[in-house]
């Protein structure tokens, strides 16, 4: 049942070894992983191979490509379930790959992998349609956990199929993952739609970053990186707030978290 590329002794592979705990901890997820295809887009071949091994070891069907244009061709042809996407790539950078595939309507989940880590870079990545990101250097084990978390949300999906009418004529279609503003359609990522739905469902209270990491990202622990939440909120505000510089809908509650307010 396991992939043929999996090392027979996980201890012989650094990447396989790192992924071992994840696999052992998630027997149910493992059987689900076997039907999932993941394309690793990374030009450092040794790193690409390490990630591929870790994902295959966790039960995914992973393969890799080392060039931006070739990645786009493969994605269009194969529509993998998830793409691990480096940003600095030969021939076409990761952001351009992402924009092109979203423009083509490809809905694959995308986890950006980047050494560039200014807030602006990350927000640009999320705006272009990424679902999550990881900064280099990283552990293959954490990457596998993030990839699994991307799929876990599907099983717990209880997003209201609502169309929201917001101030300034902005509408949000949570089911179709679209924001309509100024006559334009702005795509939402599945993650952004989940955050929005969660904030709205819990509008009677302050939602903490930990709430979001546990309930929306489905991380097993909220210690990972609360900044991930803030970066997504910045991206989301740019899409849904009438004036993102002065947010009124997703309000920051200092020292606590965020609260939805549209009354």
Nearest Cα residue to 66 out of 81, 85, 38 = 85
Q: Based on the shown chain and the rule CB under 5 A, indicate whether residue 86 belongs to the binding site for Ca ion.
A: yes
CB of 89 to Ca ion, least distance (A): 6
In whole angstroms, what is the distance from residue 172 CA to residue 186 CA? 9
Q: Are strands 82-86 and 37-41 parallel, antiparallel or unpaired?
A: parallel
Q: Of 111, 119, 76, nearest to 94 (Cα)? A: 111
What's the min distance (Å) between Cβ of 91 and Ca ion?
12
Q: How far is the CB of 40 from Ca ion (least distance, A)?
A: 12
Cβ-contact 214, 223 below 8 angstroms: no
Binding span for Ca ion by CB under 5 A among 55-63, 84-92, 145-153, 228-236: 84-92
Q: Rule CB under 5 A: which of 36-65 touch Ca ion?
A: 43
Q: State in angstroms the smallest separation of the CB of 77 from Ca ion.
A: 22
Question: In the structure encoding, which two tokens stand for residue 14, read together?
Answer: 């650094």
Q: Which is nearer to Ca ion, 86 or 132 (CB)?
A: 86
Residue closer to Ca ion by CB (options 43, 67) is 43
> Does 210 engage in binding with Ca ion (CB under 5 A)?
no
Helix (H, G, I), strand (E, B) or coil at 249: coil
How many residues bind Ca ion (CB under 5 A)? The answer is 3
CB of 90 to Ca ion, least distance (A): 8
Q: Which is nearer to Ca ion, 133 or 217 (CB)?
A: 133
67 forms part of the interface with Ca ion (CB under 5 A): no
* 4 to 43: interface string for Ca ion, x by CB under 5 A: ---------------------------------------x
Instruction: Tell me which residues in 109-138 interact with Ca ion (CB under 5 A).
Output: none
CB 157 within 8 Å of CB 167: no
User: Exactly one of 49, 88, 123, 224 binds Ca ion (CB under 5 A); which one?
Assistant: 88
99-107 long-range contacts, Cβ below 8 Å, gap at least 24?
99/128, 99/129, 100/72, 101/72, 101/75, 101/76, 101/129, 102/128, 102/129, 102/187, 104/76, 106/75, 106/76, 106/79
Distance CA 123, CA 227 (A): 12
Least distance between Ca ion and beta carbon 86 (Å)? 4
What part of residues 215-244 is at the interface with Ca ion (CB under 5 A)?
none
Task: Give the distance between the most distant pair of CA atoms in the chain.
Answer: 59
Using CB under 5 A, list all residues that contact Ca ion.
43, 86, 88
């Amino acid at each position: 049942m396991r992939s043929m590329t999996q090392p027979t002794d996980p201890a012989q592979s650094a990447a396989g070894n790192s992924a071992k705990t994840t696999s052992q901890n998630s027997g149910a997820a493992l059987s689900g992983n076997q039907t999932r295809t993941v394309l690793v887009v990374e030009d450092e071949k040794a790193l690409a191979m390490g990630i591929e091994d870790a994902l295959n070891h966790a039960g995914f069907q992973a393969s890799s490509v080392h060039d931006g244009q070739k990645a786009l061709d493969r994605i269009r042809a194969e529509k993998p379930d998830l793409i691990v996407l480096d940003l600095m790539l030969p021939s076409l950078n990761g952001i351009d790959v992402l924009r092109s595939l979203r423009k083509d309507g490809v809905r694959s989940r995308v986890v950006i992998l980047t050494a560039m880590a200014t807030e602006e870079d990350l927000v640009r990545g999320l705006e272009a349609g990424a679902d999550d990101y990881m900064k280099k250097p990283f552990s293959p084990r954490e990457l596998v956990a993030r990839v699994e978390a991307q799929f876990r949300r599907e099983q717990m999906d209880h997003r209201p199929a609502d169309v929201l009418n917001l101030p300034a004529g902005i509408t949000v279609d949570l089911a179709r993952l679209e924001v309509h503003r100024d006559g334009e359609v702005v795509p939402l990522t599945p993650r952004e739609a989940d955050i929005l739905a969660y904030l709205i469902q819990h509008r009677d209270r302050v939602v903490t970053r930990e709430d979001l990491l546990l309930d929306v990202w489905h991380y097993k622990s909220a210690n990972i990186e609360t900044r991930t939440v803030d970066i997504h909120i910045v991206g989301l505000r740019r899409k849904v707030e009438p004036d993102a510089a002065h947010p009124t809908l997703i309000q920051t509650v200092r020292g606590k978290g965020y609260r939805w307010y549209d009354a």
